Amino acid sequence: MRGVLVGLGAVFALLLLGGVGLGVWTFASFEHGEQSAQDYVDAAVPAITARWDVDELTTRAEPALLRGTDSAKLKLLFVWLSTLGPLQDYRGAALQSSSVQSMTGSLTVSTAHYVAKARYVHGDARIDIVVVRHDAGWHILGFHVNSEGLQPQLPAQRL
């Protein structure tokens, strides 16, 4: 009986150590990925908003972001956003939340939500950006600009 209990204890200890090891590996993988997400966001936001270039967004977009989005309306939206003027000062992005989904025998998907702050000719803006990483690298899943400097949006400019 004692041998069985010792055996079960050893199996439990191995499972516990394996679980802790998996948790540490997942956390370390995300820490590395989170840093590259920060770099990705800090490169993407100025590239997109320096002159409000819709092509800079679409080349970085996750296909799910563009699916169901009318490209003509997206261009009109960027015309409206361009009323803020060119980028004057990019203040960086701050991580708000993140998640990692990893399945055995499957790919790992990391998602991160950042808030970037920037100054444009006609006002400051807060840009909420959601990025996702899978086997194809980082892509933009959500991009929202809020600014007091924006004029009221016309119905044709709404997505």
Per-residue pLDDT of 6-52, as tens digits, reads 666 666 666 666 555 544 444 444 455 556 999 999 999 999 999 99
The per-residue pLDDT for 136 is 74
Rounded mean pLDDT, 125-154: 91
Q: How far apart are CA 60 and CA 48, in angstroms?
A: 9
Q: Give the domain extent around 101.
A: 2-157
The per-residue pLDDT for 134 is 83
Average pLDDT, rounded, for the chain: 84
The per-residue pLDDT for 43 is 97
Which 3 state secondary structure label does DSSP give 51? coil
The per-residue pLDDT for 72 is 92
Side chain identity at residue 134, one-letter code: H
CATH number of the domain to which 46 belongs: 3.10.450
Per-residue pLDDT of 74-118, as tens digits, reads 999 999 999 999 999 999 999 999 998 887 767 788 999 999 999
The per-residue pLDDT for 68 is 80
How many structural domains does the chain have?
A: 1
Smallest Cα–Cα separation from 95: which of 49, 129, 145? 129
Side chain identity at residue 30, one-letter code: F
Q: Given phi > 0 = left and psi -120 to 50 = alpha, else beta, which region is 105? A: left
